[in-house]
Amino acid sequence: LSGRKVKLASGFVYYANISSMRHAVSLLRQFRAQPHDLLILNSFWNVRLSLIPAIAFRLLWGGKLKVALLPRGELQPESLRYSKWKKQAALPLLRRLYSHVLDYVAATSDLELESIPRVLSGVVTLRTVNVAEEIPFGVPSAPSETMRIVYLGRINDDKGLLEVLSGLLEVKQAVTLTIAGAVQDEKYYSDCEHVMGQMPHNVSVNYVGEVGRGDLPRLLHEQDVFLTLTSAENFGHAIAEALQAGCPVIAPDTTPWTRTIRNGGGAIILDRNNRAEVAATIDQWASLTPNELLSRRGMAR
């Protein structure tokens, strides 16, 4: 579909290769042919998908086109701690450039709404919502002798796969971890692979790559728990999807779902860097009986 404009429902989708100058020119031409009111951009740090388009559209339309940025949790304190020196070095320049091209910055949680003015002052902030895609409830087709854990999400230092693997090094119970998600940082994934090679005999790890939308319910139904050690989430679609599927969640207290997870049969990890706490939580979970796990599924749903 790369380089094509496709009619979907009441609108159009243009599939652009962001490395292609030809696609960029084609996209700008299509926008020039029809006036638009609002440009919505995702990500504060990925300048190719946010800052550069904002500047380009501003130069073409000036103040006629309003520009809104959705940082999606990137400006929350917990997220800013990762790659700290690199981010702190780039922040003054990015802050200055964004201040000239943004009309609005949109947040999807109260926590994120509070954090935005600390980075981007003087820009109008908006409170918007997330809607999780509906996932059917389900139970595994057959019981398992080992604890089945799924990690679902992008693979980078913000999402915490390395912390999950480090915790598994100290787990005493029999555990199987299924990792699903796109590798965004090859160096980071190489570090993860190094830890995978050190797993004790009672822990098995399987990376299945990216999972299509149609395969997601089956993946979640066949797991006993969804484990994420993300640094921060402004919403956490994967958490919402897991709960709908009847897959309880273990997560840190840096998401908007803490109370829901505690009431939904899951568990909260207070320090994702504490191997002992992560391992103890997993071992405790792996000690549950099949009936107890089934009850937790119902609570999650």
Contact indicator for 104, 69 with CB cutoff of 8 Å: yes
Contact indicator for 253, 270 with CB cutoff of 8 Å: yes
Q: Report pLDDT digits (tens) over 54-69.
A: 998 888 877 788 999 9
**Cα(25)–Cα(66) distance, rounded to whole angstroms?**
20
- CA torsion, ordered 247, 248, 251, 255, to nearest 10 deg: 80
Residues paired with residue 147 on neighbouring β-strands, in sequence order? 175
Q: Pick out the chain residues at pLDDT < 50.
A: none
Backbone angles phi, psi at 295, to 5 degrees: -60, -40
pTM: 0.76
What is the pLDDT at residue 82? 64
What is the pLDDT at residue 73? 80
